[in-house]
Amino acid sequence: MPIPLVPDFTFAHEPRPDALLAAPSGGREGEIDRLALRLLHSNGGAFLVGGYRGVGKTTFVHAVVERLRAHLAETPADREPQELVDVHVNIARPMSSLELMHHVLRCLHRELDERGTLRKLPRDLREEVELALLRTSMDVGYQESEGRESQGGFSRAGFSLSGKRSRSSTRNARYLAYDDRAAEHDLIQIARRLGRGYRTGLLGRRRVGLKLVVVFDELDKLSRRPASVPGADGAPVAAAAPEDQLEDILQSLKTLLTASGITYLFVGGRDLYDKWLDDVQRGDSVYESVFCDARYLPALWNRASEICDRFLTGRVLAPQEAEGLDHFREFLEYTGRGIPRRILRAFNQQVEWSGRAQPYIEITRDEARKFKFFSSLHALLRASEPDLFGERAAELMQKHVLWARDLAMRHFPTSD
């Protein structure tokens, strides 16, 4: 039962931004617009976006940035226009606060240069940005010295000769007189001046402001330091105590994140969001001091169709094909558990190209039977929602999940 897909189909490993803009009742259109408007009317600030792994946090943030860009383009004629400069920083490894600030400065310079905004800036501001970039480079010094010493003499035992040879080398690597406080000061001053933008038009009468947005992705890599460190011989040695490096960095960058005028978007996982809540409830938390807003992205339980139907050609299907496709959608909703990446993975596993000019979904007889089974199971669970979310929600939910898992494993032991 082949069901054709669009000719320009490519395997998607994360949902397209418009796939998350489903109906306002269950999609994220409202959440995206609310956060974009909050960023539009905020003078800087740090925002935390959390959620379960694979729920589409990065895609959500990209959609928010694009919505913010659209809002800035709609600025009324009587107000000063603003241009969005969005810098996306992927934290590949744990780093110190100084390294993080240098990384932000380099990414900011690259973005301004690629957009052509750097050459529009006032000359003194442009030179200040260039100097800040040079200061993030390392000054490497190498010094080597070698000496020889020999000594000889006569004694009753005869002639003796001794010698000594010494050699020393020194290597120094340092930033150009640029500690973390100087880097923080420079970044704050540059950000404030960039916010005032540049002048354009006839005789420079028109001023264009800059809205700076820095997105930190993969924040979970800073949540914990490894419990072991390499020893002198390279073998791992247990560390004294694991430290929360993210909290250390936020503590050192607190002024930068609250007073620079830059809008920061931090993307973290469920563990980070839970830690944020726990610390905030204690009343003395660096997360409360830094983040002015935090949002948790829920799962998209009934959005498999919106995520995957855009790959279909839309042609009229035969009754058997339409029924098989409906069961396949229900299967995606059941096996995806509301996680867009799980839905896309299950969808991609059914795509075939062999023997045809365009890609298609191949549903064999055995797979159609499996999809129908899970479709019926999904319909049963939906019909039981009043009981599942009633007074005994947790108890009934656990019972239904265990029953459904046991039933599925008995009938389809290799299914997801």
- In a shared domain, residues 259 and 111: yes
Global pTM exceeds 0.85: no
pLDDT given at position 416? 47
> In whole angstroms, what is the distance from residue 86 CA to residue 262 CA?
10
- In a shared domain, residues 96 and 151: no
Task: Determine the structural domain holding residue 361 and report its residue range.
Answer: 2-7+301-411
Express each pLDDT in 162-182 by its tens digit. Answer: 666 677 766 665 555 566 777
CATH classification at residue 88 = 3.40.50.300
What is the number of domains present in the chain?
3
pLDDT given at position 240? 42
Average pLDDT, the chain: 76
Q: State which H helix or E strand residue 154 sits in.
A: strand 138-155
Q: Is residue 117 part of a domain?
A: yes
Task: Compare 233 and 35 and report the one with higher pLDDT.
Answer: 35
Q: State which H helix or E strand residue 105 sits in.
A: helix 97-115
- In a shared domain, residues 286 and 270: yes
pLDDT given at position 415? 47
- In a shared domain, residues 101 and 208: yes
pLDDT given at position 407? 56
pLDDT given at position 390? 63
Residue 112: burial class (beta carbons within 10 Å; 0-12, 13-18, 19+):
buried
Average pLDDT over residues 330-340: 83
Q: Is the pLDDT of residue 30 over 70?
A: yes
- In a shared domain, residues 60 and 158: no
- In a shared domain, residues 281 and 308: no
Domain boundary, last residue among 297, 320, 341: 297
Average pLDDT over residues 272-277: 79
Opening angle at CA 110, ends 134 and 83, nearest 5? 125
Q: Is residue 416 part of a domain?
A: no
Amino acid at 128: E
Q: State which H helix or E strand residue 295 sits in.
A: strand 291-297
Top mean pLDDT of 153-157, 175-179, 259-263, 388-392 is at 259-263
Domain boundary, last residue among 265, 297, 329: 297
Q: Is the pLDDT of residue 386 over 50?
A: yes
Q: Is the pLDDT of residue 115 over 80?
A: yes
Q: Are 220 and 205 spatial neighbours (Cβ–Cβ below 8 Å)?
A: no
Q: Is residue 212 part of a domain?
A: yes
pLDDT given at position 277? 79
pLDDT given at position 24? 43
Express each pLDDT in 73-114 by its tens digit. Answer: 887 777 788 888 888 887 767 777 788 888 888 888 999 898
Percent over 90 (pLDDT), the chain: 1
pLDDT given at position 247? 78
Q: Is the pLDDT of residue 23 over 50?
A: no
Q: Is the pLDDT of residue 394 over 80?
A: no
Q: How confident is the model at residue 242 (pLDDT cuts 50, 70, 90)?
A: very low
Q: Is the pLDDT of residue 402 over 70?
A: no
Backbone angle region of 292, left / alpha / beta, with phi > 0 → left and psi within -120 to 50 → alpha: alpha
pLDDT given at position 360? 80
Average pLDDT over residues 193-215: 83
- In a shared domain, residues 223 and 101: yes
- In a shared domain, residues 224 and 164: no
pLDDT given at position 315? 73
Q: Which of 56, 51, 21 is nearest to 297 (CA)?
A: 51
> In whole angstroms, what is the distance from residue 381 CA to residue 404 CA?
9
Domain boundary, last residue among 151, 174, 197: 174
Q: How confident is the model at residue 52 (pLDDT cuts 50, 70, 90)?
A: confident
